[in-house]
Structure 1
């Protein structure tokens, strides 16, 4: 929707135009009516219009002065002058300001303004199309360049360097100039990767967001530092230096990386951690150091969020972690079955401190945690207190993706607290496991269309009987429940991402954009864009 502003000290004219033009049909929103240019300019600085229809002769600031001021702020605004003055010198001044049209109030027909607004919309649509096309081309170029950089760093780590000169030349094509210089390699990690991935929806968007801000910072620093993506969660930052006894590359790097952490977190709300390697003078030496940094997963596992550490050889406990398993599972089982929510976080923290103190191997810790979670899940299922469709494979995959103990701790707290909430909900809401299974099925398939017949078939139930049972047990129809769950997910995406409403609708299985907006409004009381605006305002 294009934003339109009317400015005139003749209030009846403002009222007449605001009511005569079908703004919604034109794809426009009338954002304000103002009695003089000064008030309009102040309002525009809070909400910039796309189109301005203004009188010329007004107190405090006339129309021509308003146009000049707005053009400095946003050159692409479309302007139409609406005035009682027919003198040629006003028209001349308007033409010098590239005003699109000059309408006289004495002979004004709303249809004339309507036609002009339609022309404005057509030109704005065309301009927006060109901008989006150019933007997409820029993104394609950047993505291709990032893919080449990723391929370069991967081949450097995993394949022999056959020609040092060729390697140096290719590195230089990416902005890394190492001839006659030393290089300090740094492994860069995204902290809290599960929540980061959920917030940015796709890995490509997440990586693009991080790369964008890093590239901007490196350009401003102008020290020749280059970032090479290895995978979605890891990258290498290569910091060139002249070397010499007077400089300490490590100390300089710590200062630089700390600044990097603060800037990235403030800009895109992503936390980074770093492991700093040893300075390298030759490409072959750098290759070995990069490979060692890649193998630092053991050190990475016990790092806290926003850490900056030197690369070190980790030492792991040789004790048997599973000797303490019975004690752990008994404590958690008692808390879950007893509904003791207050005990969950302290209990998880207690065992995480134990694991951190002893420093067991990461794969052993993950096996221990997986067994603990699955055993407790099966116990609750056997008591018909819990139904969770997450398979062993899903839980195992989630654990494998987590690269720090700190993230595992957050994941465990969330898992157990969610389990407790479901247990309590089952006790209050329904003793019928079919209803709980249906709710779980919906939660796992929000990305596509879900029909009552499909879920009934999944539960081996008659659709009519299932429909009546669901309404009786929950107080709402199955379709109402599905719509409510989808709207809740849509609200999360509207709050946490910059995805368009159309893209969010597609992500939730709606191929009809209008139907998705209508459904959202029927559940939430506002359209998706209105919700996003209200949500953004409440956060300011």
Structure 2
């Protein structure tokens, strides 16, 4: 009998899942409930549990934190994630931590109960069969030339395709982690194994075949951990859908990158906005290398790209320079670089639709970034045009044509927009805010603010907080 623990901060959810699902039909029994991660750990210490269903968003200790702790303390425990919404970032992290499945509570209807439990029970049986082999091999030294690993970049879905690759008697195969399998074989049948695995790449998209050398005298456990670490840190950047076979040496140590510094992120943002990377191959390649050199994890990279797109569209979406679209999902750096390439084409086309040279367009963009990054300073069209080596009158004309506002109108606009953020999101004084957006006279700032918004700063703050 599979002993089940249900962890959710909503008592009705716990009772509903416990009473409504046909546990007995699948040789399962709910033996306990917990309202948060800490109580779940206490329960796990008190009595054995085979399967834990846990919510992700809970007070005291979240489901992710619970999974990290349980994975260390109870490696044999099977975990299924309960989630209110299909938040794939959290689900992906949960699956990476060892969850064997997830259940979206909003989609859980009576007719699905049996299907869900059947899926979970089948998964537990598969893992049990795999684990029965591991004790015999985990601490055995490898004496083969290569180990092969089929690894899917999709860490969310459950895929059964590797199971269908039947092993002959000479092959050794087992599951490394979710959507990741490894094989080896004696030298006389190794080529046959390699070609069979290579052909299997066509069965599922976004799958890589790792050909691992320097495996001799290592244990299967060491190889398994190395594959998991490589998948976590390097596969994202190494994968190419047109050449999914990746040769790697286990002598090359692969570790998590150092946490990127704010100045590293700022350098990329400056290159995106200030260098002519959309029109110059050399600058384009430099930008790509800056991105890759940080070796950001997928979540960090998504956050950086999102902030760049948001900033670009905030500055240029309402101008002739156009907006750019965010990449909604990606599984590899190859997809990100393809998006950057397509984005550069779109920006270049927007620039070419203006009547000005690329040098003038870049100069106006640079002026915008200087102003945005130094709102506490007083800039003039005369001063910036001199800094950019353009005549004042021509700079003012170009600025108005490209940005849709005169230089002075735009300068006031961005300062007032920033002051709105301060008013709604801080408790700082009006004088403090005025200084931060380049106005040394609080009364003058308030007059400009009312001209553009119809309200005094204090009225805007009061009204905005009332809405909240």
Range into which the TM-score falls when normalised by the shorter chain:
0.3 to 0.5
Q: TM-score, normalised by structure 1?
A: 0.32
Q: Higher helix share goes to which structure?
A: 1
Higher Rg: 1
Q: TM-score, normalised by structure 2?
A: 0.36
